């Protein structure tokens, strides 16, 4: 959430940012409501002060007639104040509703664009494999080697349900162990297993609500199932004041994740690339309220994710997301996409974002900087999402006879060099 003072003083900048993100919000109405809020608050404060003065006057008044007159005025004042406070509550409902719809202002380096098709490539790594045989999709390869079962997955869990089995399960577990070992003691990251079932407040705080409610699973009790460990990790210090000396705080957070994929009807219906239930390790950072610090950690988190792909020897590229492909709170975002041979294009494996104080204002996470309280800056980036990355591994490492070479860094965990027998 942006500061209302910033919105009022920089309405043109905020409006331009919303336009770049293709997000509609009525800033004129928000400022109009804020004017009324300020005026009404001043009136309420004046009447409360008048009440206090009248109470003091009654206590010191000796004349019964004058005391009765003051009490009568107080009764009128009390009723007027009650009506104004009720008006304030009604006004604040609309004011707060508009405030949480105002998007963060994207960085100047964010390109214009209408969709993810307009994201701009920043760099590439690795050589795209050239096969001298017809390439099989991950869906075919997993079935061929009895690594997955989609039919029984759909029978048990519905559309996009799946079972991973045999070497499919081993490969997924190997990836988890691999990423845990790489991150457990890296650069002061605190490892955490975080809740998947989360109250509404952290979702609103991180910006997933109210805009993305259709993509979330909601329980009967009003809680939600998280689609990323970021939500719970960001809620960890909600309503707390930190000390500057303790920053940055870095979390390596894990949770099962759930997404309805509401806007993806007809996309990636085969295999395990786009599914409703998966596992995710997330990097989350809280740092000082400084743009240069945010940029520094953004590049660091992105480099961490790239290093993992490099160790897996998966060819990838990094793109900077255009305005329309940014979320409500993101200032800047990189997507890291690994090569998918069956589709002859890159597909997303990691997403790296920074938010300035957009999330922490909503979550009320501050730090003490001398005599001043400031809102920390927040960042996040995927460390690993599985089983999605299994799709790129099996496709890039497939052989002519249909076997799959296990990436070197995973062989100790999988217990073999090749999945499927070579001729």
Cα 397 to Cα 173, 333, 340, 382, 392: the distances in Å are 18, 29, 11, 23, 8
Residue 77 has pLDDT above 90, yes or no: no
Closest by alpha carbon to 91, among 47, 28, 39? Answer: 39
Q: What is the pLDDT of residues 191-208, one digit of tens each?
A: 999 999 999 999 999 999
* Structure confidence by residue, pLDDT tens digits, 218-248: 998 889 999 999 999 999 999 999 999 999 9
- Comparing 70-74, 158-162, 341-345, which segment has the lowest mean pLDDT? 70-74
Going by C-alpha positions, the residue among 222, 217, 221, 253 that lies closest to residue 235 is 253
Residue 348 among the catalytic residues:
yes
Q: What is the enclosing helix (H) or strand (E) of 90?
A: helix 64-99
The answer to which of 54-68, 207-221, 252-266, 329-343 has the lowest mean pLDDT is 54-68
pLDDT (mean) for 328-351: 96
Residue 196 annotated as catalytic:
no
% the chain with pLDDT above 90? 80
Do residues 100 and 204 make contact, with C-beta atoms less than 8 angstroms apart?
yes
pLDDT class of 61 with cuts at 50, 70, 90: low
Question: Predicted confidence band at 423 (pLDDT cuts at 50, 70, 90)?
Answer: very low
Can you tell me the mean pLDDT for 249-259?
95
Say yes or no to pLDDT of 262 above 80.
no
Question: What kind and span of H or E run contains 293?
Answer: helix 291-312
Q: Pairing between strand 345-354 and 332-340? A: antiparallel
> 């009022």: which residue's tokens?
8
Strand order in the sheet with 365-369: 240-243, 365-369, 372-375
Mean pLDDT of 405-416: 96
- Please check the confidence at residue 422 and state whether its pLDDT lies above 60: no
Long-range contacts of 263-271 (CB under 8 A, 24+ apart): 263/214, 263/215, 269/160, 270/137, 270/139, 270/150, 271/137, 271/138, 271/139, 271/142, 271/148, 271/150, 271/391
Condensed to tens digits (0 to 9), the pLDDT of residues 120-157 reads 999 999 999 999 999 999 999 999 999 999 999 999 99
The pLDDT, as a whole number, for residue 183 is 83
Give the pLDDT mean for 88-117: 94
* Nearest CA-CA partner of 345 in 117, 21, 95: 117
What integer is the mean pLDDT of 390-410? 96
In terms of pLDDT, which residue wins out, 141 or 263? 141
Q: Indicate the helix (H) or strand (E) that contains 383.
A: strand 377-386
- 274, 300, 311, 368: which one is catalytic? 274
With beta carbons less than 8 A apart as the criterion, state whether 201 and 238 touch.
yes
pLDDT category at 357 given cuts 50, 70, 90 is: very high
- The ranges assigned to domains in the chain are 4-99, 116-419
Of 137, 212, 351, 403, the active-site residue reads 351
Is the pLDDT at 266 greater than 70? The verdict is no
The answer, yes or no, to whether residue 349 has pLDDT greater than 70, is yes
CATH topology of domain 116-419: BirA Bifunctional Protein; domain 2 (3.30.930)
Say which of 170, 259, 362, 366 is annotated catalytic. Answer: 259
| The pLDDT of residue 166 | 96
Q: With beta carbons less than 8 A apart as the criterion, state whether 179 and 384 touch.
A: yes
pLDDT digits (tens, 9 = 90+) for 166-192: 999 999 999 999 999 988 777 789 999
274 is catalytic: yes
Classify residue 165 as exposed, middle or buried by CB count within 10 Å of its CB (0-12, 13-18, 19+).
middle
- Tell me the mean pLDDT in the region 394-405: 96
If we measure between CA atoms, which residue out of 176, 182, 189, 185 comes closest to residue 252?
A: 189
Per DSSP, 276 falls in state S
Catalytic choice (8, 94, 348, 368): 348
Domain 4-99, classified CATH 3.30.1300.10, yes or no? no
CA distance 294 to 357: 10
Residue 171 is encoded by which pair of tokens?
A: 């490969």
Flag the least confident range among 2-6, 10-14, 67-71, 285-289.
Answer: 67-71
pLDDT of residue 188: 86
Residue with tokens 């214009």: 112
Mean pLDDT of the chain: 92
Query: Torsions phi, psi of 337, nearest 5?
Result: -130, 125
- The answer to whether residues 321 and 116 touch, using CB atoms and an 8 Å cutoff, is yes
Catalytic residue among 170, 361, 366, 388: 388
């Amino acid at each position: 959430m942006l500061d209302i003072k910033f919105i009022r003083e920089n309405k043109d900048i905020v409006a331009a940012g919303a336009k770049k993100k293709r997000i509609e919000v009525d800033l004129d109405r928000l400022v109009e409501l804020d004017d009324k809020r300020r005026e009404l608050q001043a009136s309420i404060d004046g009447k409360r002060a008048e009440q206090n003065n009248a109470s003091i006057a009654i206590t010191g008044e000796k004349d019964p007639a004058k005391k009765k007159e003051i009490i009568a005025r107080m009764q009128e004042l009390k009723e007027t104040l009650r009506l104004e406070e009720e008006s304030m509550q009604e006004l604040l409902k609309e004011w707060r509703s508009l405030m949480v719809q105002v998007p963060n202002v994207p960085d100047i380096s964010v390109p214009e664009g209408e969709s993810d098709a307009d994201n701009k490539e920043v760099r590439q790594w690795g050589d795209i494999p050239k096969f001298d045989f017809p390439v099989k999709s991950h869906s075919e390869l997993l079935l061929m080697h009895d690594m997955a079962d989609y039919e029984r997955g759909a029978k048990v869990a519905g559309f996009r349900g799946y079972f991973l089995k045999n070497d499919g399960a081993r490969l997924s577990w190997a990836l988890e162990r691999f990423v845990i070992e790489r991150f457990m003691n890296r650069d002061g990251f605190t490892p955490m297993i975080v809740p998947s079932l989360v109250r509404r407040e952290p979702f609103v705080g991180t910006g997933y609500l109210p805009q993305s409610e259709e993509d979330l699973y909601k329980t009967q009790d009003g809680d939600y199932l998280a689609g990323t460990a970021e939500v719970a990790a960001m809620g960890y210090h909600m309503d707390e004041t930190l000390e500057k000396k303790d920053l940055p705080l870095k979390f390596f957070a894990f949770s099962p994740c759930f997404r309805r994929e509401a806007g993806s009807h007809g996309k990636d219906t085969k295999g395990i690339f786009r599914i409703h239930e998966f596992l995710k390790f997330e990097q989350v950072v809280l740092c000082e309220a400084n743009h240069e610090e945010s940029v520094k950690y953004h590049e660091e988190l992105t480099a961490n994710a790239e290093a993992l792909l490099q160790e897996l020897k998966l060819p990838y590229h990094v793109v900077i997301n255009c305005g329309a492909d940014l979320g409500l709170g993101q200032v800047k975002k990189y997507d890291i996409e690994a090569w998918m041979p069956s589709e002859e294009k890159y597909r997303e494996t990691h997403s790296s974002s920074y938010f300035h104080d957009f999330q922490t204002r909503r979550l009320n996470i501050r730090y003490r900087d001398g005599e001043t309280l400031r809102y920390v800056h927040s960042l996040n980036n995927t460390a690993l999402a599985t089983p999605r990355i299994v799709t790129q591994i099996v496709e890039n490492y497939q052989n002519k006879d249909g076997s799959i070479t296990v990436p070197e860094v995973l062989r100790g965990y999988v217990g073999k060099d090749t999945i499927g027998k070579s001729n």
